[in-house]
């Protein structure tokens, strides 16, 4: 099962932002979108998450047209971690994470809440922060809290077959190296548990290490799409980013060098 | 201190303290073109048949009808110096609510006579006011004649009636407006208070000063026998029948006995010649009510 | 089901505070019913052995007045809390969206021009509240039309519309002030300081219904107001129908504030500060803050009205003066006390 985007085009103020994009995001796999700023990456994420609705083309969630899925159902199908807005009132970290829990009105589900919350707090290493006021946290800590909230939104009982997708727009910004790696490991773990992951990243090395599929977007068009080992080379990267890049492939790993 | 020095000191302080309030009734230098800032003064000039001297009036000068023909200097508390001066008066007469003080000073500085009459809320005060206006315009004899023939008989009748009424301890409440929740009522030292005393009645609300809102429970507690209200204050009531049912006054003896009386505001509170007549009429009316 | 969803979001401290506020409200109501300018032992009324006039004062004058104070206090505080949540702005208050200004303009027009409209109206006691309601209704309509049904424009746009409405109403009221006579001016002045006098059951009951229904209308979305704090896009992603949320809050606030202002004039401070008092005490989630605001707001207002009736007997102090005079220093004290910890 997957999210299928077909022939997505986006116009805004008579400018073409996206041109005929067709990408598949598979459950259980990590798909990363790379590209220079202004390529249209965030707009694409907004389209496939269901936030933007004035586009051409179609998006299907497991063969269902996204445009026909209502807002509550969408919330159960996918979780998004994007730029966050300042929070005006003094909520505690616990209260912010808790907002990711979607009430299905199902008593059984509600009993899982405490378990789920604890799992998520531990996984994101914020258990010790849970009673602190959110606004007193550093930028990086706040990011981890929002990440935890996105995870809570996705939480399913272990025997559940419900599809779910996680979309992340630059999730690692503001995080120190330790927490960047920790977050990427969590994301990897989620994908092995069956969650379909879609990410926008700036850090190429990180992207190549963790992704199952890479899509490169430049000027609104897909330059290439596929598994990193096969599609990534010096020319493609250098042309995309207008920087001389040297690609090194060794033992199933890819890392790049700027010349 | 020598006598002279003391005199000079007193004079000095008088000048310091009171540049504006000239309470003198001295004859004005040139009373031929008068701008009036106060409805009762306009009334008095008509009463003395000296209306030909008027060239402009303020907004409160609404009696008699023909005063409408005069150019208006606007709201007496908020005059414009240029506006007043543009009409070229030789004399300006007003009461102590004429303002703002800066404007009044400005007008004074141009050399025009500005006279401010002090107001006393009683029959004697009205007569003094009429006398004063008469002196200012230089018609003292005529004024005294008119007062004796037209006012004194009324005043004497009023004094007798009100003396009688006083023994009966009639409580009167004066409502200014009823538009803002609790009615606004005249307390101690207001023109309404003075008017009520002229009639010979007791102000049902003499425990506070000035115009204040009064709660319904207090109104019931005070139990006024008569309620006076200006026509403007009674405006939203199609006829007085509705007023008697107004929730704030409904349970007063005045409302129950249908003794709510609405009259023109200036007629009651202007303290010109009409006010003495109106006080007499009301006093008679109340006598009749009480004897029933 | 409704109550279950709501109560779950209260922690134990918050539940305790709400319970305490309920008791406080009951106490304040009892005291207010018992005291007044016209004094008599209230117990005797309840036992039926009083004079007719005492019974009348109690049932026709005092009780409606105290109830009005309670529902106005509740509606202003609840609106304030919800608008603060909707606009994500701790300084929002019911005046922000221009509804009170519209009501004030309607009322001021009647105060100054009432005499010319006399012939058209039989029910003169309804004239003022009716025109105030009309004023606030027009503002609601304008808000609705200008934001095209609260569409994509977002809350900043609504704030701007509110600012414009407030400015227009200011001009209108300013002009009316300028052309008014001394007595009308006094009316205007006292009306803008607030008063609960002159209320009758026939005026009170419609207001009671409007305010109560508005409150019920708001209860289901309190949790969503919390989620809205993450931002409109994020709230949508979490399944919140943001457009419907805006509708509910704007309509409920406008209706209840319009009803309040039309009966009692402008009473400031309460809508802004009561929600904050609650937040300072025990947390910021809206279930707690909004329900708490209803309880605390009514207690405060009933108490303020009691003071307004008793302090300068037989005259009345405008209630708006009291709420500001007592409330502001207390609020200041509370801020300093909490922040020291």
What's the CATH code of the domain at A68? 3.40.50.300
Model confidence at B20: pLDDT above 50: no
ipTM associated with this complex = 0.91
Pair B81, B197 in one domain: no
Residues of chain A contacting C, Cβ within 8 Å = 49-51, 71-72, 74-76, 79-80, 82, 84-85, 87-92, 95-96, 99-100, 102-103, 105, 153
Model confidence at A108: pLDDT above 80: no
Please tell me the total count of domains within chain A: 1
pLDDT value, residue B19? 44
Higher pLDDT, C181 or C23: C23
pLDDT value, residue C287? 94
The DSSP letter of residue A156 is: -
What is the rounded distance in angstroms from the CA atom of residue B184 to the CA atom of residue B214?
Answer: 6
Q: How far is A83 from chain C (nearest CA, A)?
A: 9
Pair B182, B282 in one domain: yes
Question: In chain A, what residues touch C89 (CB-CB under 8 Å)?
Answer: 88
Band (A81; pLDDT cuts 50, 70, 90): very high
Q: Please state at what angle helix C124-146 crosses helix C242-264, rounded to 10 degrees.
A: 160
pLDDT tens sequence across B118-148? 888 999 999 999 999 999 999 999 999 999 9
Inter-chain contact A99–C237, Cβ cutoff 8 Å?
no
**Residues A147-174 as b or e (16 or more Cβ within 10 Å = b):** bbbbbbbbbbeeeeeebbbbbbbbbbee
Band (C262; pLDDT cuts 50, 70, 90): confident
Which pTM value belongs to this model?
A: 0.84
What's the CATH code of the domain at C314? 1.10.3470.10
Model confidence at B219: pLDDT above 90: yes
What's the CATH code of the domain at B51? 3.40.50.1980
Closest by CA to A168, choosing from A30, A38, A53, A36, is A30
**Would strands B226-230 and B171-177 be described as parallel, antiparallel, or unpaired?**
parallel
Question: In chain B, what residues touch C56 (CB-CB under 8 Å)?
Answer: 251
Question: In chain B, what residues touch C60 (CB-CB under 8 Å)?
Answer: 247
Inter-chain contact C226–A102, Cβ cutoff 8 Å?
no
Contact call for residues B118 and B97 (beta carbons, < 8 A) = no
What is the rounded distance in angstroms from the CA atom of residue B243 to the CA atom of residue C10?
Answer: 51
Q: Which residue has the tokens 């589900």?
A: A109
Residue B182: which of C36, C127, C316 has the nearest Cβ? C316
Distance of CA C106 to CAs A102, C126, C140, C281, Å? 45, 13, 14, 38
Band (B105; pLDDT cuts 50, 70, 90): confident
Model confidence at C338: pLDDT above 70: no
Inter-chain contact C61–B247, Cβ cutoff 8 Å?
yes
Mean pLDDT of C289-303: 96
SS3 of C115, please? helix
Closest by CA to A131, choosing from C13, B76, C248, is C13
Question: In chain C, what residues touch B246 (CB-CB under 8 Å)?
Answer: 125, 198
pLDDT tens sequence across A172-186? 988 899 999 999 999
pLDDT value, residue C2? 47
Please tell me the total count of domains within chain B: 2
Closest by CA to B207, choosing from C37, C195, C315, is C315
Domain end marker among B65, B99, B118 = B118
**Would strands A165-169 and A78-81 be described as parallel, antiparallel, or unpaired?**
parallel
Half-sphere exposure of C81 (CA within 13 A, CB side): 32
Pair B164, B275 in one domain: yes
Contact call for residues B63 and B36 (beta carbons, < 8 A) = no
Pair B213, B265 in one domain: yes
pLDDT tens sequence across C82-134? 999 998 888 788 877 788 888 888 888 888 876 555 544 445 567 778 888 88
Inter-chain contact B213–C118, Cβ cutoff 8 Å?
no
H/E element, A58: strand A56-61
What is the rounded distance in angstroms from the CA atom of residue B245 to the CA atom of residue B63?
Answer: 31
Does residue B148 lie within any of the structural domains? no
Closest by CA to C78, choosing from C278, C242, C305, is C278
Q: Which residue has the tokens 């509708």?
A: C247
Inter-chain contact A89–C279, Cβ cutoff 8 Å?
yes
The DSSP letter of residue C36 is: -
The DSSP letter of residue A87 is: P
Does residue B49 lie within any of the structural domains? yes
Domain ranges, residue A112: 2-258
Pair B112, B163 in one domain: no
- Sequential DSSP letters for chain B: --HHHHHHHHHHHHHHH-SS-----PPPS-TTSEEEESHHHHHHHHHTT-GGGEEEB-TT---SGGGGGS-B---TTS--HHHHHHT--SEEEEETT---HHHHHHHHHTT-EEEEE---SSHHHHHHHHHHHHHHTT-HHHHHHHIIIIIHHHHHHHHHHHHHHHHTT-EEEEEEE--SSSPEEE-BTSHHHHHHHHHT-EES--SSBSEEEB-HHHHHHH--SEEEEETTTTTT-SSHHHHHT-TTTTTSHHHHTT-EEEE-HHHHHS-SHHHHHHHHHHHHHHHHHHH-
Mean pLDDT of C41-62: 78
The dihedral over CA atoms of C55, C56, C62, C65, expressed in degrees to the nearest 10, equals 150
pLDDT value, residue B178? 83
Domain ranges, residue C199: 2-30+59-340
Does residue B94 lie within any of the structural domains? yes
Residue A89: which of C233, C239, C284 has the nearest Cβ? C284
Q: How far is C283 from chain A (nearest CA, A)?
A: 7
Inter-chain contact C238–A85, Cβ cutoff 8 Å?
no
Residue C197: which of B176, B216, B221 has the nearest Cβ? B216
Contact flag for C and B (3+ C-beta pairs < 8 Å): yes
What is the rounded distance in angstroms from the CA atom of residue A50 to the CA atom of residue C153?
Answer: 18
Does residue C46 lie within any of the structural domains? no
What is the rounded distance in angstroms from the CA atom of residue B173 to the CA atom of residue B224?
Answer: 6
Task: For chain A, list the contacting chains (3+ Cβ pairs, <8 Å).
Answer: C
Which phi and psi angles does A142 have, rounded to 5°? -65, -40
SS3 of C231, please? coil
Mean pLDDT of C303-315: 89
Does residue C51 lie within any of the structural domains? no
**Residues C188-201 as b or e (16 or more Cβ within 10 Å = b):** bebbbbbbbbbbbe
Domain ranges, residue B212: 159-291
Domain end marker among B89, B118, B147 = B118
H/E element, A177: helix A177-192
pLDDT tens sequence across A198-243? 999 999 999 999 999 999 998 889 999 999 988 888 888 888 888 8
Mean pLDDT of C235-257: 89
Does residue C262 lie within any of the structural domains? yes
Does residue B133 lie within any of the structural domains? no
Does residue B142 lie within any of the structural domains? no
pLDDT tens sequence across B53-67? 999 999 888 888 899
Please tell me the total count of domains within chain C: 1
């Amino acid at each position: 099962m997957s999210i299928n985007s077909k022939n997505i085009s986006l116009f805004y103020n008579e400018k073409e932002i996206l041109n005929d994009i067709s990408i598949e995001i598979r459950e259980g796999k990590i798909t990363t979108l790379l590209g220079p700023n202004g390529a249209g990456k965030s707009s694409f994420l907004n389209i496939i998450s269901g936030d933007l609705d004035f586009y051409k083309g179609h998006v299907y969630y497991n063969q269902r047209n996204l445009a026909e899925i209502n807002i509550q159902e969408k919330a159960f199908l996918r979780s998004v971690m994007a730029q966050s807005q300042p929070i005006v009132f003094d909520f505690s970290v616990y209260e912010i994470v808790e907002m990711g829990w979607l009430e299905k009105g199902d008593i059984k589900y509600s009993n899982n809440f405490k378990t789920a919350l604890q799992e998520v707090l531990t996984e994101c290493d914020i258990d010790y922060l849970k009673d602190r006021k959110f606004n007193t946290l550093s930028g990086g800590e706040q990011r981890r809290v929002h990440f935890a909230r996105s995870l809570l939104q996705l939480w399913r009982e272990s025997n559940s077959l419900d599809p779910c997708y996680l979309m992340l727009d630059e999730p690692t910004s503001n995080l120190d190296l330790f927490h960047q790696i920790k977050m990427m490991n969590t994301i990897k773990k989620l994908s092995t548990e069956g969650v379909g992951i879609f990410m926008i990243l700036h850090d190429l090395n990180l992207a190549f290490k963790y992704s199952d599929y890479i899509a490169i977007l430049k000027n609104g068009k897909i330059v290439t799409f596929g598994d990193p080992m096969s599609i990534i080379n010096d020319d493609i990267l250098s042309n995309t980013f207008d920087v001389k890049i040297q690609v090194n492939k060794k033992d199933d790993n890819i890392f790049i060098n700027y010349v | 201190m020598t006598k002279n020095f003391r005199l000079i000191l007193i004079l000095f302080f008088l000048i310091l303290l009171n540049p504006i309030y000239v309470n003198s009734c001295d004859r004005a230098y040139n009373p031929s073109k008068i701008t009036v800032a106060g409805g009762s003064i306009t009334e008095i000039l008509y009463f003395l048949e000296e209306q030909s001297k008027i060239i402009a009036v303020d907004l409160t000068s609404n009696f008699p009808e023909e005063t409408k023909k005069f150019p208006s200097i606007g709201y007496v508390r908020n005059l414009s110096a240029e506006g007043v001066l543009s009409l070229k008066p030789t004399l300006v007469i007003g009461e102590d609510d004429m303002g703002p003080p800066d404007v009044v000073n400005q007008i004074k500085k141009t050399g025009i006579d500005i006279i401010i009459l002090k107001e006393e809320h009683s029959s004697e005060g009205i007569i003094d006011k009429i006398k004063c206006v008469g002196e200012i315009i230089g018609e003292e004899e005529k004024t005294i004649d008119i007062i004796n023939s037209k006012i004194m008989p009324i005043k004497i009748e009023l004094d007798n009636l009100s003396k009688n009424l006083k023994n009966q301890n009639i409580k009167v409440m004066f409502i200014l407006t009823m538009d803002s929740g609790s009615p606004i009522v005249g307390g101690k030292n207001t023109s309404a208070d003075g008017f009520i005393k002229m009639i010979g009645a007791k102000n049902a609300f003499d425990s506070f000063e000035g115009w204040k809102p009064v709660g319904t429970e207090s109104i019931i507690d005070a139990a006024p026998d008569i309620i006076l209200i200006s026509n403007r204050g009674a405006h939203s009531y199609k006829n007085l029948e509705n007023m008697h049912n107004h929730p704030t006054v409904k349970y007063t003896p005045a409302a129950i006995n249908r003794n709510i009386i609405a009259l023109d505001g200036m007629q009651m509170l202007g303290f010109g010649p009409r006010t003495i007549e109106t006080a007499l009429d009301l006093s008679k009316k109340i006598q009749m009510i009480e004897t029933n | 089901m409704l109550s279950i969803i709501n109560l779950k979001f209260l922690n134990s401290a918050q539940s305790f505070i709400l319970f305490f506020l309920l008791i406080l409200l009951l106490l304040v109501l009892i005291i207010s019913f018992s005291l007044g300018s016209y004094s008599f032992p209230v117990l005797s009324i309840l036992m039926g052995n009083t004079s007719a006039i005492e019974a009348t004062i109690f049932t026709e004058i005092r009780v409606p007045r105290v109830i009005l104070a309670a529902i106005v206090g509740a509606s202003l505080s609840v609106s304030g809390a919800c608008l603060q949540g909707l606009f994500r702005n701790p300084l929002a208050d019911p005046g922000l969206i221009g509804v009170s200004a519209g009501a004030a303009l309607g009322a001021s027009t009647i105060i100054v021009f009432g005499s010319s409209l006399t012939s058209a109206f039989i029910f003169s006691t309804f004239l003022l509240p009716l025109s105030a309601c009309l004023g606030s209704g027009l503002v609601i309509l304008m808000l609705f039309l200008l934001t095209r049904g609260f569409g994509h424009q977002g809350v900043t746009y609504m704030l701007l519309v509110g600012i414009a409405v407030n400015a227009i109403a200011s001009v209108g009221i300013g002009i009316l002030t300028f052309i008014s006579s001394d007595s009308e001016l006094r009316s205007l002045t006292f009306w803008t300081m607030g008063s609960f006098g002159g209320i009758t059951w026939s005026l009170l009951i419609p207001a009671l219904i409007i305010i109560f229904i508005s409150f019920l209308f708001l209860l289901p979305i309190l949790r969503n107001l919390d989620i809205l704090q993450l931002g409109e896009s994020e709230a949508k992603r979490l399944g919140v129908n943001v457009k419907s949320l805006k509708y509910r809050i704007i309509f409920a606030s406008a209706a209840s504030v319009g009803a309040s202002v039309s009966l009692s004039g402008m009473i400031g401070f309460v809508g802004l500060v009561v929600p904050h008092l609650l937040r300072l005490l025990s947390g910021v989630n809206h279930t707690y803050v909004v329900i708490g605001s209803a309880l605390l707001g009514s207690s405060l207002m009933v108490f303020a009205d009691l003071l307004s009736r008793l302090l300068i007997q037989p005259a009345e102090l405008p209630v708006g003066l009291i709420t500001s005079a007592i409330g502001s220093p207390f609020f200041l004290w509370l801020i300093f006390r909490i922040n020291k910890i």
